[in-house]
Amino acid sequence: MRGDAMNSRRSPRGPNGLADRLRREASRERPRFSQALHERILQRVPGDVVFAEGAHAGEPGPAAAHRRAWREFGTPAGVAALAVVIAVFAAWPEPAGKRPRAAAAVRVEPEGADAVAGGVSPEASDLGIDAVPMFDDLEAGVREGVSTLAATLLDVPGWRMIADFDAAGFLGPDAAP
């Protein structure tokens, strides 16, 4: 069997013979060059592609160079821009998470009169109020509102005096303290 296979391989009708036959037949039927087809192709070529217009023979066209540059560098740049956008969105919750801490720190301010007058006391600085960034006008308004409320509460002794005065007026001299 093995010998037959070897003979078949060496014979003109084996695989090598088949290959030779295929080559010979193909070469016999090889067509001739067609000038008409060549001209037909070239007639359609210059108008077929926009970047070929105005291009000088032998010189690279700028449009094609731009196209290649866009393909080479545009795609990585686009991917990088997308990565930056994703990174920004991923990092966004972190400053947002600091907002409750800022609000809690602001509530500490009313403990001293200096804090109301000066806006931020040294104690408040120790608590990190200075380090908290102002994210937007809304937060600034909240801080201002809290400061006003704190100032109002600090005036409470004055209100108490008025209340005592009114009580003295209503109750008469016997009721006065």
Binding site for another protein (CB under 8 A): 13-15, 17-19, 21-27, 29-34, 37-38, 40-42, 44-46, 48-49, 51-52, 55-61, 63-65, 67-68, 71
Q: How far is the CB of 24 from another protein (least distance, A)?
A: 7
Beta carbon nearer to another protein, 61 or 112: 61
Beta carbon nearer to another protein, 38 or 99: 38
Beta carbon nearer to another protein, 2 or 13: 13
Cβ neighbours of residue 76 closer than 8 Å, sequence gap 6 or more: none
Q: How far is the CB of 71 from another protein (least distance, A)?
A: 8
Cβ neighbours of residue 23 closer than 8 Å, sequence gap 6 or more: none
- Among the listed residues 40, 61, 59, 42, the one whose alpha carbon sits nearest the alpha carbon of residue 51: 61
Q: How far is the CB of 66 from another protein (least distance, A)?
A: 11
Q: Which DSSP state fits 73?
A: I
Cβ neighbours of residue 140 closer than 8 Å, sequence gap 6 or more: 134
Beta carbon nearer to another protein, 18 or 117: 18
Q: How far is the CB of 43 from another protein (least distance, A)?
A: 10
Q: How far is the CB of 78 from another protein (least distance, A)?
A: 19
| Direct distance between the N- and C-terminal alpha carbons of the chain, in angstroms, rounded to an integer | 134
User: In Å, how far are 47, 88, 90 from 81, measured between CA atoms?
Assistant: 36, 11, 14
Beta carbons within 10 angstroms of residue 44's beta carbon: 10
Beta carbon nearer to another protein, 44 or 99: 44
